[in-house]
Structure 1
Amino acid sequence: MTQPFSSADGTRVAHEVVTYVVVADEPPVSLPAELRYDSADPYAVCLSLGVTSTGTVEWVFARSLLSEGLRRPAGAGDVLVTPPHHCHRHSVRIVLRSRVGIAVLDIATTSVVAFLKKTDMLVRPGTEGLHIDLDRVVAELVAGSE
Structure 2
Amino acid sequence: MSTVIDQAVQARLIASAPKDRAVPAQLRYVPSDPFAVHIAFPPMASLDGADVAWAFARELLACGLISPAGGGDVHVWPCGPDRTVLEFHAPEGIAMVQIDTAELRRFLARSYALVPAGMETAHLDMDTDLTALLDSSP
Query: What TM-score results when the alignment is normalised by the length of structure 1?
Result: 0.85
Three-state SS of the structure 1 residue aligned to 2:127 is helix
RMSD: 1.8
1:26, 1:130 → 2: CA distance? 47
Aligned counterpart in structure 2 of residue 47 of structure 1, from 1, 15, 39: 39
SS of residue in 1 equivalent to 2:12? strand
Match of 1:72? 67
**What one-letter code is carried by the residue in structure 1 that aligns with 2:85?**
R
Counterpart Cα distance in 2 of 1:126 and 1:133 = 16
> Residue 120 in 1 paired to residue 112 in 2?
yes
User: For residue 14 of structure 2, what is the aligned residue in structure 1?
Assistant: 22
Could you tell me which runs of 5 or more consecutive residues in structure 2 were left unpaired when the two chains were aligned: none
Which 4+ residue blocks in structure 1 deviate beyond 3 angstroms? none
Q: How far is 1:137 from its partner?
A: 1.1
- Give the 3-state SS of the residue equivalent to 1:137 in structure 2: helix
Q: TM-score, normalised by structure 2?
A: 0.90
How far 1:56 moved relative to its partner? 1.9
1:3 is matched with: none
Percent sequence identity over aligned pairs? 33
Q: Which amino acid aligns with 2:79?
A: P
CA contact (8 A) 2:82 2:101 kept: yes
Distance in structure 1 (CA, Å) of the matches to 2:58 and 2:52: 18
Gapped regions of structure 1 (runs ≥ 5): 1-8
